[in-house]
Structure 1
Amino acid sequence: MTLISENVLQKTQTYAARFSAVEPFRHVVIDGFLRADFCQSLRADFPQFEDRHALNEMGQVGGKAVRMDVRDISEAYRQFDRYLQTPEFLGFVSEVTGIPDLLYDPDYVGGGTHENRHGQGLDAHVDFNYHPRTKWHRRLNLIVYLNEEWDRSWGGELELHSDPWDAANNRTIGVLPIMNTAVIFETNEVSWHGFSEIRMPESHRQTSRKSFAIYLYTRERPADETAPPHATIYVPEMMPLDWQVGRSLDDRDLRELRNRFGRLRTQLRFLYDREKQF
């Protein structure tokens, strides 16, 4: 059964043209990606936040829960899993992106359902570039958002960066994580992306940012796009660019600094522990 919206399938060539003609790297945003009734089923069956699925790289409980055991969630998610393996789905993504012979990941390494709570953000990063088990090349991310409402002032907007190492000249575009919006983007050594810290008002403090992530692979990739294997590479945020000498820090400023230093220390600890393995 076709799960992509019929209207989307009819506009495949339009999306293909958009994918190749945008900055800061190849991507496309598709509204109304799935059949509306099926997308509602995914939203209704979205799993509850559990601490055991919210462990960060250091084994600590954080504000992000990931369920990679997609087939254990519900029948709707099992149906979606079956569809992601079909020639129709893989052919559609190949036609939009121009990348042939795409491979579905039955392990959902890093993918599946993602839920991020108030206070959670994601520093700009490029993703790991090889599947850890199969050694396939990671080529594409496809994210479907499952939030029935989202205001830009809440943060949590997907940000695609030109170069987060160069904060003064970095260019970003944002995508609001609203219901049934899909983003497909190429995964390479310059596909920097993340999202700003989620700051929910008290009236929506129980609202979280929900999405489903699919990563697609190929057995080979062009030599000029191939890099040595690496894990996810983060670029921690600098001091806010608008902070100047003489600024008086309030409680929110101090919380922001603690969060930034905390993420930096966690990333450095992760890199140190990984380095010891070599």
Structure 2
Amino acid sequence: MQVQAVAETAIINPVVLAKVSEYSREFATAAPFPHVVIDDFLEPTFAHALLDAFPAFERGNFIGDSGEPGGKSTLAKVRNLGQAYQQLDDAIQSPAFLDTIGRITSVDGLIYDPWYLGGGTHENRNGMALDPHVDFNYHPSERWHRRLNLIVYLNPAWEDAWGGHLELFRDPHADGRPSRTVSPVFNRCVIFETSERSWHGFDAIRLPEQHASMTRRSVALYFYSKDRPAEETASRHTTFYVNRQLPERFTDGHTLTRSDVAEIKQLLEQRDAHIRMLYTDNTGLREAQDRGLTGHLLYLAKRAYVRFRR
């Protein structure tokens, strides 16, 4: 049994396994919500094997909601990526691995998602950013509560000035700046609670011209549980996004620079895209509502109401 447990956690750096209690304390006391940042998380040779087998951008799903190619690519069928990703998949569903993550986070009964819905390999090109959001709170097809995000970054030559930092927010409706930023450097792992207050995103990737072809790479793993404390439970919802606030430097008397103007244009474009997405979702809901017997009865009721008012 002990030999099996060692094999199931062999992808984790032994140094990390020796410090589980320390990471557990960090997770519990972190602000703005429970999380922990663990450097050199994976066994080094295994981390490089994941990087070597990382899929080409065009192999993943890089078509945006508009139907056009975008700057983000994801791939959920990780077992198709070769031996290293098969080993990853085997490990993260094992009792020993789930128990280790559970001891770090104090979340019992963790469940692995065999479909990697929303997870798998993630890759973002230069200029991409992700607005603050809280994730969907239930598994899309199972009655499981979403509990944890575990992200491992695979960027061996990333510099802090290049952006792409994971951002953790207390309240993005009120705060222009995140409470914590984390650079996506190679083999750095971030584990954070998924809840109604786990606001997170990443700032724009700003690569210098000579490195403009590089991308921000990561593997995202999501974990669930069958139960959740009542005080943390909310009605089922999709991912909630909040458009970024204007940077704090935009105050009375500030003279706009060329980069300021570019940033304002980008913020407006993101806000417009968000509004278009909401309109599209609303139209889809109305079309679904209009179809079928219920939709027809609703139409007749509305028609009668309008005629009665006249």
Scaled to the shorter chain, the TM-score interval is: over 0.9
Change (3 A) 1:87 1:262: same
Structure 2 distance, partners of 1:121, 1:171, is 14
* Distance across 2 between alignment mates of 1:190 and 1:205: 34
Opposite residue 58 of structure 2, the aligned amino acid is E
State the 1:61 CA deviation.
1.8
Q: Any gaps of 5 or more consecutive residues in structure 1? A: none
Equivalent residue, structure 1, for 2:226:
219
Counterpart for residue 30 of structure 1 = 38
Alignment map for 1:234-273 (pairs within 5 Å): 234-245=241-252, 249-273=256-280
Equivalent residue, structure 2, for 1:205: 212
The one-letter code sitting in structure 2 at the alignment partner of 1:42 is L
* RMSD between superposed Cα atoms in Å: 1.7
Question: Residues 258 and 171 from structure 1, CA distance in 2 versus in 1: closer, same or farther, beyond 3 angstroms?
Answer: closer
In the superposition, relative to structure 1, how do residues 51 and 259 fare at CA in structure 2: closer, same or farther (>3 Å)? farther
TM-score, with structure 1 as normaliser: 0.94
Retained in 2: the 8 A contact 1:158–1:195? yes
Q: Cα offset for 1:57?
A: 2.9
| Stretch of structure 1 that moved more, 186-195 or 49-58 | 49-58
TM-score using structure 2 length: 0.85
Identity level (%)? 44
1:248 to partner: Cα distance = 5.4
Pair 1:99 & 2:107 matched: yes
**2:142 aligns to what?**
134
Q: How many residues align?
A: 277
Distance 2:30 2:254 in 1: 38
Distance apart, 1:229 and its partner CA: 1.1
Deviation at 1:54, TM superposition (A): 1.3
Kindly provide the amino acid, as one letter, of the partner of residue 203 in structure 1.
Q
Gaps of 5+ in 2: 1-6, 290-310
Greater RCO, CA 8 A, separation 6+: 1
1:246 shift after superposition: 5.9
Q: 1:239 to 1:51 in 2, by over 3 A?
A: farther
1:57 matched to 2:65? The reply is yes
Of 237, 241, 246, the residue aligned with 1:230 is 237
The CA distance in 1 between the partners of 2:267 and 2:67, in whole Å, is 19
**Secondary structure at the residue paired with 2:247?**
coil
Which of 7, 13, 20 matches 1:12?
A: 20
